[in-house]
Amino acid sequence: MDLHSLVKDSSLIQSGAYINGAFVSAKSGATFDVTNPVTNEVIAKVADCDASMMEDAISAAHAAQPAWAAKTAKERANILKKWYDLCMENADDLAIILTAEMGKPLAEAKGEIGYGSSFIEWFAEQAKRVSGDVLESPFADKKFMTLRQPVGVFAAITPWNFPNAMITRKVAPGIAVGCACVLKPAEQTPLSALALAELAHRAGIPAGIINIIPGMDAPALGDVMCRDERVRKITFTGSTEVGRILMRQSADTIKKISLELGGNAPLIVFDDADLDVAVEGAIASKYRNAGQTCVCANRVFVQAGIYDKFAAALTEKVAAMKVGDGFDNDVVQGPIIDQQGFEKVERHVADAVAKGGTILTGGKAHEMGGTFYEPTVITGAQKEMQLYSEETFGPVAALFKFDTEEEAITLANDTIFGLAAYYFTKDVGRVFRVGEALEYGMAIANTGAYSSEIGPFGGVKASGLGREGSIYGVDEFLEIKLMVVGGI
């Protein structure tokens, strides 16, 4: 695959780290391979940065941040809006780069570019609405007020499953309110990150405000980010295991932390659900990105009265899904990102079958070979199965049977995770009862698709800290300062 020949503007394909406004090679000259997960072909060689380059990037961000913060919010907003416009103008190329390095169907990649860009537009607008308060003073001769000020330099670490949107959802709010950032993209998908940097550069975001440091040695780069005193905040999307490491490493420098970690989403179908809506919702939530999102339904709980009908209707749709190269027409499911991810799916299915599960469709590697896996439905799922407690991150829907609403809530909450939960019912009272009882950051009734810049995204328990997007997203990048003026 010659990626350069696929895009209109090949200067969006960058291979250097982006530090202090310039694309640079690794000091050591080292590079790492970016591969297309469909063919395993090397599509680019990207700078493999070491810890000293991360330090350089932090120095650049630290030097540039005060002047950026001193601009008016409107000035920053105008530059961000230019960045947004450039992302939309180049959406087709950004989607091609994304599909080439990550494998999701091109239509999904285009959807992600729209979604990712929406955070830039939204936070350009929100930056102008950051305000403090004048408080009712307890003293006649003193005034009390609050200022909301940028935290300063923040570090971001992002995953491969949304190579564009997980970057904009962090970078846009941060820089909109006057922070500067150093970002390490996932090693599988650095090209989408560097393309965003190229467009940010063209939009006029000053040197040092956004720095992108790709590298294979994530622990070493992460360690520098966490231990540097000049970095005042860390924001991460990825596994709970790595989230714990970053939180521990950030303890010495007492950083502000936001974490978007793993999920184990329940999807509950009650007897009184609209069957078509529930099936459509389950497909949207379970099979998007081949099941590789942290809000994908992982455990499907179906009430006894509708269980067989739901299983049959879901199976019919899932069996008809077209699997293949994301660049081919009508493909709705691409490959699993890598061999390790593929093996986890195989392990979960084998374990489920060994423990009495029945495969209604799929259940094995796809004939495309590589890391393609057949979209799968399993009935007779039990609590003892690995897929009950671990996130599968693949296209496997396991159907558990339950009898009462109380039982469904207990099962749904029986996990250390608490990101997204879905439920389907036409009973209005139940919509509220269940929504309030679910120990999740996001309780979603009667739909499987809800991602937008408007809704606060985030989890409770082991799924993380903080919220991204929405009117709350800027709070993560601001400190509240009390100002008291006496002698009045």
- Quote the Cα angle for 34-89-215, to 5°: 25
CB of 244 to ligand ADP, least distance (A): 10
Given the complex with ligand ADP, which of 215 and 448 has the nearer CB atom? 215
- Nearest one of 429, 390, 437 to 410, comparing CA atoms: 437
260 is catalytic: yes
Which segments within 272-329 are labelled E, that is strand? 297-303
Q: Find the radius of gyration of the CA atoms of the chain.
A: 23
CB 258 within 8 A of CB 236: yes
Q: How many beta carbons lie within 10 A of that of residue 244, not counting itself?
A: 13
CB 377 within 8 A of CB 359: yes
Instruction: List, as one string, the DSSP characters of 183-200.
Output: EE--TT-HHHHHHHHHHH
* Coil vs helix vs strand at 138: coil
Q: Which residue is nearest to ligand ADP (CB)?
A: 222
CB of 223 to ligand ADP, least distance (A): 7
Give, in order, the Cα–Cα distances in Å from 111 to each of 162, 194, 280, 442, 487.
11, 19, 18, 21, 57
**Both tokens assigned to 101:** 């390095």
CB of 262 to ligand ADP, least distance (A): 8
Which entry of 49, 179, 181, 294 is annotated as an active-site residue?
294
CB of 316 to ligand ADP, least distance (A): 31
Given the complex with ligand ADP, which of 393 and 402 has the nearer CB atom? 393
Given the complex with ligand ADP, which of 68 and 393 has the nearer CB atom? 393
Given the complex with ligand ADP, which of 29 and 219 has the nearer CB atom? 219
CB 362 within 8 A of CB 377: yes
Given the complex with ligand ADP, which of 67 and 220 has the nearer CB atom? 220
CB of 362 to ligand ADP, least distance (A): 22
Residues that bind ligand ADP (CB under 6 A): 157-159, 184, 186-187, 218-219, 222, 238-239, 242, 245
CB 236 within 8 A of CB 259: yes
Packing angle of the helix pair 240-249, 218-227 (nearest 10 deg) = 40
Q: Which residues pair with 421 in a beta bridge?
A: 443
Indicate the residue type of 338.
D
CA–CA distance, 303 with 404 (Å, rounded to integer): 7
Given the complex with ligand ADP, which of 195 and 203 has the nearer CB atom? 195
Given the complex with ligand ADP, which of 147 and 245 has the nearer CB atom? 245
Note the Cα 180 to chain centre separation in Å: 20
CB of 450 to ligand ADP, least distance (A): 21
Task: Say which DSSP state 142 is in.
Answer: -
Given the complex with ligand ADP, which of 281 and 341 has the nearer CB atom? 341
CB 298 within 8 A of CB 421: no
CB of 133 to ligand ADP, least distance (A): 37
What stretch of H or E contains 66?
Answer: helix 51-70
Residue 381 burial class via C-beta count within 10 angstroms: exposed 0-12, middle 13-18, buried 19 and up? buried
CB of 421 to ligand ADP, least distance (A): 21
CB of 431 to ligand ADP, least distance (A): 32
Q: How many beta carbons lie within 10 A of that of residue 202, not counting itself?
A: 14
Which entry of 108, 112, 121, 260 is annotated as an active-site residue?
260
* Coil vs helix vs strand at 264: coil
Given the complex with ligand ADP, which of 184 and 467 has the nearer CB atom? 184
Note the Cα 278 to chain centre separation in Å: 24
CA–CA distance, 395 with 298 (Å, rounded to integer): 9
Catalytic residue list: 260, 294
